[in-house]
Each structure stands twice: as structure tokens, then as C-alpha cells.
Amino acid sequence: MTMRSFGLIRQCCNALVRVPLAREKSPVSLPISHLSRSLTTAAEALKITYDEKSEVATMHLCRKPVNGLSLEFITQISIALEKLENERSCRGVIISSGCDNVFCAGLDINEMLRPTPERLEIFWKTLQDMWLQLFTTRLMTVAAITGHCIAGGCLISSACDHRVMAPNFKIGLNEVKLGIVAPFWLVDSVKNLIGYRQTEWSLMKGHLFSSEDALRLGLVDKVVPQDQVVLQAEADMAEWLQVPDSARHLSKTLMRRDTVVRFRSGREADLKTFVNYIPKESIQKTLHSYVESLKSKK
Ligand SMILES: CC/C=C\C/C=C\CCCC/C=C/C(=O)SCCNC(=O)CCNC(=O)[C@H](O)C(C)(C)COP(=O)(O)OP(=O)(O)OC[C@H]1O[C@@H](n2cnc3c(N)ncnc32)[C@H](O)[C@@H]1OP(=O)(O)O
């Protein structure tokens, strides 16, 4: 197997003070006083490899301990996606995790705790952009879900084209448990997979599905033992790549158009709602208690 890492991507990912890269915007300097805590450095957090033979890249999320989606991390993912999208030989990307038993625990909650208005706005815009990139990319996308996949984690997996998950983990949208609400575009992408009622019910309860229930409902496509998830994702990717790229991508565009149109017309209002809602004292209290409960479960 011929593997090479994308020098350009690594280079970009290491230089992370100016964000976001987002296509439609110019870069903005970050208030770096609020960098969120992680056990990994920015350079270690995202590893990209490319297999020339299969024409498939792997995006390995390694922001320990739980791949919490901080502004810097989302920006790295976004830059990497853009680079892969522009790499003509690349046809697919597998998204995998280097965190034990966690694919992604969602947004880094620290981003929402006592945020500066400036950073909060950049954070949400960057997340919106990253989601749109992933949801509409020409690349075939497969999520190799080797652990829990919660809220923002489900944002990533549900934006992909195919999902393979390990048994006995949790997946879904639990935002209400934190006193917050998933944005309509994330809800839509889950609804596209599991239908209206299951989405409404799980959203209102903050219910996380077991891997097995997720398979039954269509929130994931396969459940295989944890040590086989990546291999299965690679095998499924190879099968998917037998379909001509442009026809596959046009079909995806056709199926996702309504969600994308709704997103584009609602994203400004969504941003305003987010930046007004998060700093509210009542929301801050609930988020704070949630973080405390995570820490005290040990
Ligand atoms: C009207 C509406 C207007 C506006 C909308 C507003 C907001 C919309 C946002 C919606 C979009 C998405 C939101 C989100 O993603 S919020 C995040 C939701 N995620 C979770 O609830 C997951 C929480 N984590 C867990 O349940 C467990 O950590 C997990 C993943 C099951 C792993 O368990 P375990 O292996 O036992 O690990 P620990 O729990 O010990 O965690 C290790 C360490 O990580 C910290 N941590 C965990 N998750 C997060 C996180 N999401 N962000 C930041 N930090 C996290 C945890 O506290 C531990 O820290 P410690 O210091 O104790 O080591």
C-alpha cells in the first residue's frame, strides 16, 4: 500500500492562529485568550494520510481526550477537507478517531462557557462552514465510528455518506441535556437518515441511541466489532468507489438540496440565535452544571 501524508495539510494544520479559512469569508485573527483545554497539541490533533492506490484519504481525529470540537480543531478539519477536495486524485475520505472508545464527544463545551462574543461568533460560523463542506463534498465520505458519537460528533457522522460503527456505544443528539438545542441543519441531516418521528422524539428527550438501535433506524449503516470498524470502512469505501464519482455526487446533491437551501437561507438567523442564546445566564448555569456532572461521575 502506498501511503503518504499530505505535507500541505499538515503544514496548514500546524499554523492555526488565523481562522476561519471558510470559503466565503476572509480570515480573522483569533482572540487566543480562550484557547480550550486539550491533552493534544494542534499539530497532533488531526492526522491525514493518503493511499495513492485506493485514492482514499484518512482523516484521523486525535484531539484527546474525546475529540471535543474546539474552534481550532474545527478549523483544522475544515482546512483539511478543503485541501482534500482540491486534490484531484483523491476520491474519498474516511473519518476515524484516535481517542479510546470515543469517535467524537461533540462540541468542546469550553467554547460555550463564558465565551467572548467575538470568538463565539467565529466558532459558530466555522462550524456551519465545516458542516456544509462535509455535507456537500464531491468526495465519498465514510465515518469509522469506533466509539461514542455525541451531538457535534453526530453532526460529523450524519454529514457523511456512509457510517460503520462499533457495538455498545452511544450516538445521537443529546443537546437538550445541556439546556441547548441542536441547530435546524443538524436536525435535518439526522432526520434525513431516521425520519421525522424518531428525530423529534430523540431530540426532545436528548436520547442517545445504542449502536444496535442506530443500525435498526438507519443512523448508521453497519455495526462491526471495534477492531474491524476501520477495515470495514475501507472495504465499504472501495465498494462505493465503483460507482462513477460524478453520478454519485450529483445524486447526493439532488438528495441534499432541500437541506442545503434551507441552511443557506437560515444560517444568518441561526448564527444570531446562537450568539444571543449561549451567553444567557440561565444557559451558562446549565452548561456549567453539565460540565461539573461530567467531572464528578469519576
Ligand atoms: C434556541 C437554540 C439556540 C442556540 C443553540 C445552542 C447550541 C447549539 C449547539 C448544538 C450543537 C452541538 C452541541 C454539542 O455537541 S454539546 C456537547 C455534547 N456532548 C456531550 O454531552 C458528551 C459529554 N461527554 C460524555 O458523555 C463522555 O465524556 C463520553 C464522550 C461518553 C466519554 O466518557 P469517558 O470515556 O468516561 O470520558 P470522560 O467523561 O471522563 O471525559 C474525559 C474528559 O473529557 C471531558 N469532556 C467530555 N466531553 C466533553 C466535551 N463535549 N467538551 C469538553 N470536554 C469534554 C470530560 O469532562 C473529562 O474531562 P476531565 O477534565 O474530567 O478529564
Question: Which of 23-32, 102-111, 114-123, 266-275 comes out lowest in average pLDDT?
Answer: 23-32
Distance 105 CA to ligand 1 centre (A): 5
Alpha-carbon distance of 180 to 263, in angstroms, equals 19
Give percent of the chain above pLDDT 70: 87
Query: Residues 225-267: pLDDT tens digits?
Result: 999 999 999 999 999 999 999 999 999 999 999 999 999 999 9
What distances in angstroms separate CA 154 from CA 4, 87, 106, 252, one per listed residue? 29, 26, 7, 19
Distance 127 CA to ligand 1 centre (A): 16
pLDDT value at residue 275? 98
Asked whether the predicted pLDDT for residue 22 surpasses 80, the reply is no
Q: Which ligand 1 atom is the nearest neighbour of the CA of 36?
A: 53
Quick check: 170 and 149 in contact, CB under 8 A? yes
The string of DSSP letters for 200-230 reads: HHHHHHTPEEEHHHHHHHTSSSEE--GGGHH
CA angle 265-268-270, nearest 5°? 95
Q: What angle do CA 119, 125, 129 make, to 5 degrees?
A: 140
Which residues have C-beta atoms less than 6 Å from ligand 1?
65-66, 68, 101-102, 105-110, 148, 150-152, 174-175, 178, 180-183, 273-274, 277-278, 294-295
pLDDT at position 8, please? 38
Percentage with pLDDT > 90 across the chain: 84
In angstroms, the CA 131 to CA 74 distance is 10
User: Which pLDDT score, from 0 to 100, does residue 37 have?
Assistant: 54
Identity (one letter) of the amino acid at 70?
S
Confidence of residue 279 (pLDDT cuts 50, 70, 90): very high
Backbone φ and ψ for 194, nearest 5 degrees, come out as -115, 0
Q: Atom 1 of ligand 1 has which residue's CA nearest to it?
A: 181
pLDDT of residue 35 exceeding 50: no
pLDDT band at 11 (very low <50, low <70, confident <90, very high): very low
By CB atoms closer than 10 A (0-12, 13-18, 19+), residue 181 is middle
The whole-number average pLDDT for the span 266-283 is 98
Count Cβ atoms below 10 Å from residue 245 Cβ, excluding itself.
Answer: 15
Testing ligand 1's pocket by substitution, the residue of 66, 284, 293 carrying the most ligand atoms inside 8 A of its CB is: 66
Strand partners, 57: 50, 93
Given a cut of 70, whether residue 218 has pLDDT beyond it is yes
pLDDT at 41 over 90: no
Lowest mean pLDDT among 4-8, 41-45, 150-154: 4-8
**42: pLDDT confidence band, cut at 50, 70 and 90?**
confident
Question: In whole numbers, what is the pLDDT of the chain averaged over residues?
Answer: 90
Contacts of 121 by beta carbon, 8 Å cutoff, 6+ apart: 271, 275
Q: What residues are labeled active site?
A: 107, 152, 174-175
Range with the poorest average pLDDT among 36-50, 98-112, 209-223, 277-291: 36-50
> Which of 154, 133, 132, 151 has the alpha carbon at shortest distance from 143?
154
pLDDT, average across residues 187-204: 98
Closest ligand 1 atom to 112 CA: 7
Query: Given this model, what pLDDT does residue 40 score?
Result: 78
The model's pTM is 0.91
Say whether pLDDT at 53 is over 60: yes
**Residue 116, CA atoms < 13 Å, CB-side half-sphere:** 11
Pocket test of ligand 1: the residue of 294, 295, 296 to mutate, having most ligand atoms within 8 Å of its CB, is 294
Cis peptide before 279 (omega within 30 of 0): no
Tens digit of each residue's pLDDT (9 = 90 or more) over 61-82? 999 999 999 999 999 999 999 9
With bands split at pLDDT 50, 70 and 90, how would you rate the model's confidence at 38? low
pLDDT higher than threshold 50 for residue 54: yes
- How many angstroms is it from 109 CA to the middle of ligand 1? 6
Angle at 15 between CA 41 and CA 58, to 5 degrees: 70
- Dihedral Cα 23, 85, 96, 163, nearest 10 deg: 100
Q: Is the pLDDT of residue 177 over 90?
A: yes
Which tops the pLDDT comparison, 29 or 40? 40
For the segment 83-98, what is each residue's pLDDT rounded down to a tens digit? 999 999 999 999 999 9
C-alpha 108 to ligand 1 mean position (Å): 6
Q: How many angstroms separate the alpha carbon of residue 292 from the centre of ligand 1?
A: 11
